């Protein structure tokens, strides 16, 4: 070590290193604390809780996967090809049990009344509710026609129309909720109410489906996709 450098003291470098190490350790602990502080206060050890709109958007992802199942069945019907009609029955079952009887009921019971009370987006809410009711009627028809053992040409045409109508309505329906309704919801309720609703949504899901109910539904949809041969995501990549 060159001790001819002006102001050099043998212990100064060692003290500097030791001080730096202490600061790094303290800083690291502080950083961990800061990171922990960023976690949602409702974290129960299983991961961060999602907000009510985020929860509903995740469920829209599940709905979209069933819409793809319907697309596949529509193509087979249009081409007059045979396909596993049970997949269509099962897909309609997921729509009825999870989307209509749970997801949409959450919107109707917790979101729509608050928008009406705040006199915000009431026209949109009215249209969305009208479409919920239309969707349930279409699901009844799809489930009934999909179970026909020896369908006639008329049966197939009615089923094709019901699938067309369902998908044609629900794609813009969910897009309008994701981009207009859900972002606006945070603005019309207090932070306390917003957080409490997240807990209530989670509790309602567990009451109906048990812990991990959403994941169970995702698995059910994946099983249907595999039966139709549309589970592998790579097949949807265009060859450029």
Identify the pLDDT of residue 43.
44
Please check whether residue 24 lies inside any domain of the structure: no
Name the 3-class secondary structure at 102: helix
Q: Which residues contact 185 (CB under 8 A, 6 or more apart)?
A: 52, 53, 111, 114, 115
Rounded Cα distance, 165 and 183, in Å: 27
Going from the first residue of the chain to its last (240 residues), give the mean pLDDT of each consecutive group of 10, the final group possibly shorter.
Answer: 41 44 38 33 50 81 96 95 93 96 94 96 98 98 95 95 98 96 91 86 87 90 95 93
Rounded Cα distance, 230 and 222, in Å: 9
- Structural tokens at position 45: 């050890």
Identify the pLDDT of residue 29.
35
Identify the pLDDT of residue 48.
57
Domain span including residue 162: 52-231
Identify the pLDDT of residue 49.
64
Please check whether residue 72 lies inside any domain of the structure: yes
Q: Which residues contact 96 (CB under 8 A, 6 or more apart)?
A: 136, 139, 143
Please check whether residue 195 lies inside any domain of the structure: yes
Structural domains counted in the chain: 1
Please check whether residue 35 lies inside any domain of the structure: no
Please check whether residue 43 lies inside any domain of the structure: no
Identify the pLDDT of residue 152.
94
Please check whether residue 158 lies inside any domain of the structure: yes
Identify the pLDDT of residue 196.
87
Query: Minimal CA–CA distance to 61: which of 161, 178, 206?
Result: 178
Phi-psi region of 232 (alpha: psi -120 to 50; beta: other; left: phi over 0): beta
Rounded Cα distance, 104 and 71, in Å: 22
Q: Domain with 67 in it: what CATH number?
A: 1.20.120.520
Q: Which residues contact 219 (CB under 8 A, 6 or more apart)?
A: none
Identify the pLDDT of residue 1.
44
- Structural tokens at position 186: 């945070």
Query: Where is 31: in which H helix or E strand?
Result: helix 10-38
> How far is CA 194 from each of CA 10, 24, 44, 121, rounded to the nearest angstrom?
61, 38, 18, 18
Please check whether residue 14 lies inside any domain of the structure: no
Please check whether residue 26 lies inside any domain of the structure: no
């Amino acid at each position: 070590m060159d001790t001819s450098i002006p102001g050099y003291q043998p212990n100064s470098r060692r003290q500097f290193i030791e001080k730096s190490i202490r600061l790094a350790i303290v800083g690291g602990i502080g950083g961990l604390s800061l990171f922990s502080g960023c976690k949602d206060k409702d974290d129960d050890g299983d991961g961060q809780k999602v907000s009510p709109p985020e929860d509903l958007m995740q469920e829209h992802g599940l709905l979209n996967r069933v819409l793809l199942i319907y697309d596949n069945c529509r193509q087979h019907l249009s081409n007059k090809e045979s396909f596993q009609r049970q997949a269509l029955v099962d897909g309609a079952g997921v729509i009825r049990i999870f989307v209509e009887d749970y997801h949409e009921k959450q919107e109707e019971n917790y979101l729509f009344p608050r928008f009406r009370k705040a006199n915000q987006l009431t026209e949109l809410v009215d249209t969305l509710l009208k479409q919920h009711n239309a969707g349930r009627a279409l699901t009844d028809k799809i489930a009934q026609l999909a179970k026909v053992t020896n369908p006639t040409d008329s049966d197939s045409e009615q089923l094709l129309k019901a699938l067309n109508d369902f998908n044609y309505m629900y794609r813009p329906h969910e897009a309008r909720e994701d981009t207009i309704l859900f972002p606006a919801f945070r603005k019309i309720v207090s932070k306390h109410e917003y957080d409490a609703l997240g807990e209530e949504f989670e509790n309602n899901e567990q009451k109906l489906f048990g812990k991990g109910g959403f994941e169970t539904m995702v698995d059910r949809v994946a099983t249907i996709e595999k039966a139709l041969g549309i589970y592998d995501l790579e097949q949807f990549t265009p060859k450029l």
